[in-house]
Structure 1
Amino acid sequence: MKINWGTYIVIAFALFISFIMYFVVKVQSDSKYDNDLVVEEYYKHDVHFQDEMARIQNAHDLKTKPVITVDATNGITIVFPADFTPSAIKGTVAFYRASNKKFDFQVPLSFTDSASLVIPKNKFIGGEWNINMEWKYEGKSYLTKEEIYIK
């Protein structure tokens, strides 16, 4: 049986389409390739953008700002300035993992004696993390956003 060049072209197209379909099915079915949004309700979140910018500006205008440090042995330490009254600081710290929302978590800001908070290293996996720290102090709202890398 003799095969002409038209048959070879059809076979080549069929193989190419099969190759592409294999990767489409693999990416859609494997959880390793999840491509979720960073924020669940993006448009509702976007409506409050101006309020968010005002809180970021409030944090930027502080003379002494809270410091977020990454320690290889202890984890992440958040230290508020000494002139802040620790019991008056209320808020949360949200840790977002851009690659997988399953690792996202929040920690409440609650202080007793000193205005420092330590989040243990075992709560984190290696890689890039986004930190959103929202707090209120003396009736004013603040928002600090930072990116850190944990080894």
Structure 2
Amino acid sequence: MVPTPPTTRSLWPFAIIAVFVLFAGYIGFMVQQAMRTTVDLVSPDYYQQELAFQQRMETVARTAALPAPVTLHHDAGTHQLTVQLPADMSGQRIQGQIHFFRPSNQRLDFTLPLQPTAGLQQQLSTARMQPGLWRVRLDFTADKRNYFVEEKIIL
């Protein structure tokens, strides 16, 4: 009888199995992290707002066609936001709301009524608002016609 030489085992099968096990563990960890992450929509009625998109586009086009623009000016020194409506709207019945949206934190969002003075201007204090990016949406009606303006401000 001839003795057989000792066989050496290859580590490749174990390495391949280890790579697959580590990859499966990594994928499982990533799925777990994704399931724990909260995803908040910008507003609770996001889908209903999306359905009204075409109407909003018509309103934006009507606002852009005004002879003078609706302006929102933030003065960081005095912490004042000034909303100025066009002079052509004087004498018209104006109603509306000013929505303040904080993209990073939905809990900071709030709405104020639009109450312009006789000079078609309204000033709002921004002193108590947290610093950062805000979206200001002005949604108003003048003589039964809807208008909409959205601007970003950084406090």
The verdict on a shared fold, with TM-score over 0.5 as the criterion, is yes
TM-score, structure 2 length as denominator? 0.73
Other-structure match for 2:18: 11
Q: Which amino acid aligns with 1:76?
A: L
Task: Give unmatched runs, 5+ long, in structure 2.
Answer: 1-8
- Per mean C-alpha deviation after superposition, the further-off stretch among 103-112 and 60-69 is 103-112
Let me know the Cα RMSD of the aligned residues. 2.8
Q: What is the rounded CA distance, in whole Å, between the counterparts of 1:111 and 1:29 in structure 2?
A: 45
CA displacement at 1:135 relative to structure 2: 0.3
More helix by share: 1
Does residue 24 (structure 1) correspond to residue 31 (structure 2)? The answer is yes
Contact kept in structure 1, 2:80 and 2:123, CA below 8 Å: no
CA shift in 2, pair 1:140/1:20, >3 Å: same
CA shift in 2, pair 1:14/1:86, >3 Å: farther
CA displacement at 1:22 relative to structure 2: 2.5
Task: Tell me how many residue pairs correspond in the alignment.
Answer: 145
CA shift in 2, pair 1:10/1:134, >3 Å: same
Does residue 47 (structure 1) correspond to residue 47 (structure 2)? The answer is no
Q: What is the rounded CA distance, in whole Å, between the counterparts of 2:27 and 2:82 in structure 1?
A: 47
Superposed structure 1 runs of 4+ greater than 6 Å apart: none
Matches within 5 A, 1:1-150: 4-30=11-37, 34-73=38-77, 74-85=79-90, 88-112=93-117, 114=119, 115-127=121-133, 129-146=134-151, 148-150=152-154
CA shift in 2, pair 1:75/1:113, >3 Å: same
Q: What is the rounded CA distance, in whole Å, between the counterparts of 2:25 and 2:131 in structure 1?
A: 37
CA shift in 2, pair 1:54/1:20, >3 Å: same
CA displacement at 1:23 relative to structure 2: 3.3
Q: Which amino acid aligns with 2:17?
A: V
Q: What is the rounded CA distance, in whole Å, between the counterparts of 1:72 and 1:83 in structure 2?
A: 28
CA displacement at 1:99 relative to structure 2: 3.3
Percent identity, aligned pairs only?
Answer: 26
Task: Give unmatched runs, 5+ long, in structure 1.
Answer: none
Pair member with larger Rg = 2
Q: Which amino acid aligns with 2:62?
A: N
